[in-house]
């Protein structure tokens, strides 16, 4: 690794990512999942007239396959219910098979196919 075993490396990655999210997702709602005083997940939501769109859902690699993404989806559904939305909606890359499996197992179905991604929806 070119930086050695630096404990600051995650900051060099996370801080630019969070700043980019602030610019790209301005006016969206952002939620961070903390585990043992560490941010391990991210959820960014955007309201549409009849749906709550999940603009971004991410879990740190070392915390994947622990149910955190399922927890995040359940939280997004509760937010959609509170906002009286009919659907949850998201976009997933065609090549992201783990995410596609998660969403399929969570009840999402394909609404639209694009060149590199699928738009998925689930009734709330």
Asked if 52 and 87 count as a contact pair (C-beta separation under 8 A), the reply is yes
What is the chain's mean pLDDT, rounded?
A: 87
The per-residue pLDDT for 7 is 64
The per-residue pLDDT for 5 is 57
pLDDT tens column, 31-66: 999 988 889 999 999 999 999 999 999 999 999 999
Contacts of 42 (CB under 8 A, 6+ apart): 21, 30, 31, 32, 33, 56, 57, 58, 59
Percent of the chain with pLDDT over 90: 69
Maximum Cα interatomic distance, the chain, rounded to a whole number of Å: 49
Whether domain 28-123 has CATH 3.40.630.30: yes
Write down the domain spans for the chain: 28-123
Q: What is the pTM of this model?
A: 0.76
Judged by DSSP in three states, 52 sits in strand
């Amino acid at each position: 690794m070119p930086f050695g075993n630096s404990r600051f490396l995650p900051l060099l990655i996370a801080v630019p990512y969070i700043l980019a999210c602030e610019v790209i997702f301005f006016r969206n709602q952002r939620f961070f999942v903390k585990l043992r005083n560490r941010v391990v997940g991210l959820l960014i939501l955007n309201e549409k007239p009849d749906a709550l769109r999940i603009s971004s859902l991410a879990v740190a690699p070392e915390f994947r396959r622990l149910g955190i993404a399922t927890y995040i989806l359940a939280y997004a559904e509760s937010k959609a219910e509170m906002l009286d939305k009919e659907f949850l909606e998201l976009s997933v890359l065609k090549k992201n098979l783990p995410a596609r499996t998660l969403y399929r197992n969570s009840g999402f179905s394909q609404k639209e196919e694009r060149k590199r991604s699928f738009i998925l929806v689930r009734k709330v």
